[in-house]
């Protein structure tokens, strides 16, 4: 489908390195641990105005600035900035590349290390240990500790970012004043795991993947990773949104010729796939999708989701979108009911939209107003 | 989703003249109480209880625009439905559970009341009185469903699917073993009506009823 791709040039990412490493849920440990991160706004003297943004599967820490690798705007610039819902005049907004990611944090693309932290002169690749959402959160906690932030004003994130928000609130309740899990769920559903497996199978089936050792000859499994992205992208949109954007329109033709016709939706997906492979690492994709599949917050707490939040003082704002079929409203509602059962302080809105799962990243004024008001109310309470 | 959306509209309609009505409810709630307001609209009562009474006040509202408004002003409100969501709160989670002018619009009023008194120590319920003399008079004289300021939608599209009278409500409380701690009848604008001593007169002349209950 595509010729060998030219990856974007590597850039230096700002990172915090922890020499003592991190013990993982799987029993392995990695050392050192590197956490690449970006901050916007100013941390106040009391260090009480920090809002941590957790990114989704293929996001990264460049949340509110032009991306140094792709040159594109930050993925959540719509809501982060002066005067915006995550107001950088008031809050210190930070975002870290997840553990297992490929934008500077420890992950399959970084140099493999031994138990003493010595570099082995090759990337981790598929030797990178299995990680969990909780491991990602522990890595972020190391960063906030390092910055001297004992309690975050807010932790905000959508999709896999929302899973991290929930894990933060469950694992470090005293460190989270307000939590906003958006378009997410307390576990990954069978259907979601199934879609991920299609993506992983596409990568595995690409001869350039070479059992994960594609880095040996400087190639990337572009076809497989691109197909994985195309499948995933369909799950991020709703049928209505696809119809509205593309319908049955053909590219460069007004009627079917039965020759080389390409529907606009096909060309859009191919574009999504081919740009993705330039910036994302296939082994990272395998590692992170697995972490999402493993996520089951209730199972971590004896099978009862309410146990994850028993006695919590954290204030929650749960948001879902009506046309999101990847993380449907019923998952958010189940979460809200568990929070109610735990007598937690929780707000919840299902926003009406036809934009599907992606709505959390797009222009949704009602959602932005609610999120901004929720955070501002919490900040008022804390005197920030 | 037609039903809930319509109910949302009905709740907004009554919200227009809720200020006095809300004040009467707020008077029944002591300082620092833990309160759940079902059908809280944009959160007017919650905001009042939080600011004036230091209450830990939370809400449930079915209409998205109203919930957004409430959450955007920093209130803890859930986009949900009294008929289905109350079951998920633990026993005794609240001191007061409020249902303001919504009882007649829920699917299962008796079950909603049970849930209110399961999750709250007290329930405060207000509803429009179908026993008001105007209703009786119009039904008697015209033979048609009444059309008044309160009951202002035709029978085939009204969200108020479970109208009751003050006498009916007393009977339900007796049947369920609830203790009526306080009750009063008010006019459409929430002003206290003078027939507080006689339930029979209140049932004839009160446009709205307000009850404070506890488990027997």
Q: How does pLDDT run across A69-102, given as a tens digit for each residue?
A: 999 999 999 999 999 999 999 999 999 999 999 9
Whether A99 is covered by a domain: the verdict is yes
Candidates A236, A200, A222; CA nearest to A270 is A222
What is the pLDDT, as a whole number, of residue B15?
39
Q: Is the dihedral of CA B197, B201, B205, B206 positive or negative?
A: positive
Residues in chain A within 8 Å Cβ distance of B89: 340-341, 343
Give yes or no for A182 touching B (CB within 8 A): no
Examine the fold and report which residue of A241, A268, A291 is the final residue of a domain before the chain moves on. Answer: A291
Find out whether A185 and A293 touch, Cβ atoms under 8 Å.
Answer: no
- Residue finishing a domain among A241, A258, A291: A291
Q: DSSP class of residue A346?
A: E
pLDDT at B13 over 50: no
Residues A169 and A314 both lie in one domain? yes
Residue A296 within any structural domain of the chain:
no
Please tell me whether residues A46 and A152 are part of one structural domain.
yes
For a pLDDT cut of 70, what percent of chain B falls above it? 87
**Residue A7 resides in a domain:** no
- Looking at the structure, tell me whether residues A125 and A255 fall in a common domain: no
Residue A140 lies in a domain: yes
Same domain, A161 and A215: no
Mean pLDDT of chain B: 88
Considering only CB atoms, A347 lies closest to which of B56, B77, B88, namely B77
pLDDT at B3: 38
Inter-CA distances, A241 with A236, A245, B3, Å:
10, 6, 26
Average pLDDT of A123-137?
97
* Minimum mean pLDDT range among A7-11, A150-154, B34-38, B209-213: A7-11
Tell me: the pLDDT tens digits for A304-361? 999 999 999 999 999 999 999 999 999 999 999 999 999 999 999 999 999 999 999 9
* Segment A202-207 mean pLDDT: 98
Residue at a domain's end among A267, A291, A315:
A291
In a domain, A10, yes or no: no
Q: What is the CATH number of the domain that holds A358?
A: 3.40.50.1820
Distance from CA of B75 to the nearest CA of A (A): 8
Assess whether pLDDT exceeds 60 at residue B6.
no
Asked if pLDDT for residue B12 goes beyond 60, the answer is no
Both A283 and A314 in one domain: the answer is: no
From A298-307, B19-28, B135-144, the region with the lowest mean pLDDT: B19-28
Same domain, A219 and A164: no
> Is A323 found in the same domain as A232?
no
Three-state SS string over A13-66 comes to CCEEEECCCEECCCCCEECCEEEEEEEECCCCCCCCCEEEEECCCCCCCCCCCC
Give the model's confidence band at A217: pLDDT under 50 very low, under 70 low, under 90 confident, else very high: confident
Tokens 């007017």, residue located:
B44
Residues A156 and A31 in one domain: yes
Query: What domains lie within chain B, and their CATH numbers?
Result: 2-215 (3.40.50.150)
Q: Is residue A149 part of a domain?
A: yes
Largest CA distance in chain A: 67
Interchain CB contact of A241 with B (< 8 Å):
no
CB–CB of B82/B99 below 8 Å? Answer: yes
**For residue A8, is it within any domain?**
no
Average pLDDT over every residue of B74-103:
94
Q: What is the ipTM of this complex?
A: 0.91
Domain of residue A209, CATH code: 1.10.1740.110
Please tell me whether residues A116 and A39 are part of one structural domain.
Answer: yes
Q: Are residues A30 and A157 in the same domain?
A: yes
- The bridge status of strand A111-113 relative to strand B208-215 is unpaired
Interface test with B, best of A334, A373, A381 (most B CBs within 10 A): A373
Q: CB-based contact (8 Å) between A341 and chain B?
A: yes
Determine contact: A349 vs chain B, CB below 8 A.
Answer: yes
A92 and A111, same domain (yes or no): yes
**What percent of chain A clears pLDDT 90, i.e. is strictly above it?**
93
Number of structural domains in chain A: 2
| Per-residue pLDDT tens over the stretch B102-156 | 899 999 999 999 999 999 999 999 999 999 999 999 999 999 998 887 788 899 9
A170 and A220 part of one domain: no
More confident: A5 or A187: A187
| Residue range(s) defining the domain that contains residue A215 | 192-291
The pLDDT tens digits of the residues spanning B29-38 come to 999 999 999 9
Q: Is residue A4 part of a domain?
A: no
**Is residue A292 a contact partner of residue A196, using CB atoms and an 8 Å limit?**
yes
């Amino acid at each position: 489908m595509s010729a060998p791709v030219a990856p974007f040039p590597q850039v230096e990412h700002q990172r915090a390195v922890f020499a003592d490493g991190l013990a993982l849920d799987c029993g392995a440990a990695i050392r050192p641990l590197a956490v690449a991160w970006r901050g916007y706004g100013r941390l106040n003297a009391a260090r009480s105005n920090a809002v941590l943004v957790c990114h989704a599967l293929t996001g990264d820490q460049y949340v509110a600035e032009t991306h140094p690798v792709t040159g594109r705007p930050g993925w959540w610039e719509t809501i982060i900035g002066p005067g915006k819902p995550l107001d950088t005049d008031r809050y210190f907004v930070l975002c870290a590349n997840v553990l297992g990611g490929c934008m500077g944090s420890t992950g399959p693309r970084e140099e493999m290390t031994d138990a003493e932290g010595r570099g082995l002169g090759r990337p981790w690749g598929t030797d990178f240990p299995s990680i969990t959402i909780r491991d990602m959160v522990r890595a972020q906690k190391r960063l906030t500790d390092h910055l001297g932030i004992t309690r975050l004003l807010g932790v905000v994130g959508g999709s896999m970012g929302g899973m991290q928000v929930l894990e933060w609130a469950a694992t470090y309740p005293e460190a989270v004043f307000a939590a906003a899990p958006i378009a997410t769920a307390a576990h990954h559903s069978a259907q979601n795991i199934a879609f991920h497996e299609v993506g992983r199978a596409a990568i595995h089936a690409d001869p350039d993947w070479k059992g994960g050792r594609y880095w040996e000859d400087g190639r990337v499994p572009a076809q497989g990773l691109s197909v994985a992205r195309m499948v995933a992208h369909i799950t991020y949109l709703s049928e209505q949104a696809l119809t509205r954007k593309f319908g049955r329109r053909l590219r460069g033709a007004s009627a079917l010729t039965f020759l080389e016709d390409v529907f606009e939706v096909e060309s859009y997906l191919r574009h999504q796939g081919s740009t993705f492979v330039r910036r994302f690492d296939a082994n990272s994709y395998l590692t992170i999708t697995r972490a999402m599949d493993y996520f089951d917050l209730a199972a971590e707490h004896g099978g009862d989701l309410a146990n994850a939040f028993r006695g919590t003082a954290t204030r929650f704002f749960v948001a879902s979108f009506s046309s999101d079929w990847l993380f449907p409203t019923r998952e958010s509602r189940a979460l809200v009911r568990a929070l109610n059962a735990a007598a937690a302080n929780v707000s919840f809105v299902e926003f009406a939209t036809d934009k599907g799962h992606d709505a959390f990243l797009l222009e949704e004024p009602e959602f932005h107003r609610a999120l901004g008001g929720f955070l501002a109310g919490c900040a008022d309470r804390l005197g920030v | 989703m037609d039903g809930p959306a319509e109910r949302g509209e009905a709740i907004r309609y009554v919200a227009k003249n809720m200020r006095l009505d809300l004040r009467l409810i707020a008077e029944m709630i002591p300082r620092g109480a833990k309160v759940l307001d079902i059908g809280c609209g944009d959160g007017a009562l919650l905001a009042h209880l939080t600011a004036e009474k230091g209450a830990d006040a939370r809400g449930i509202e079915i209409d998205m625009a109203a919930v957004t408004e409430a959450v955007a002003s920093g209130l803890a409100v859930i986009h949900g439905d009294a008929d289905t969501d109350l079951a998920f709160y633990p026993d005794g989670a609240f001191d007061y559970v409020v249902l303001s002018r919504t009882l007649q619009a829920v699917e299962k009023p008796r079950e909603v009341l049970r849930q209110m008194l399961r999750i709250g120590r007290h329930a405060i319920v207000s509803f429009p009185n179908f026993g008001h003399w105007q209703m009786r008079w119009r039904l008697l004289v015209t033979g048609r469903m009444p059309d008044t300021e309160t009951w202002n939608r035709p029978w085939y599209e009204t969200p108020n699917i479970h109208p009751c009278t003050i006498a009916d409500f007393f009977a339900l409380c007796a049947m369920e073993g609830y203790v009526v701690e306080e009750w009063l009848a008010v006019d459409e604008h929430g002003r206290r009506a003078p027939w507080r001593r006689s339930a029979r007169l209140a049932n004839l002349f009160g446009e709205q009823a307000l009850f404070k209950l506890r488990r027997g």
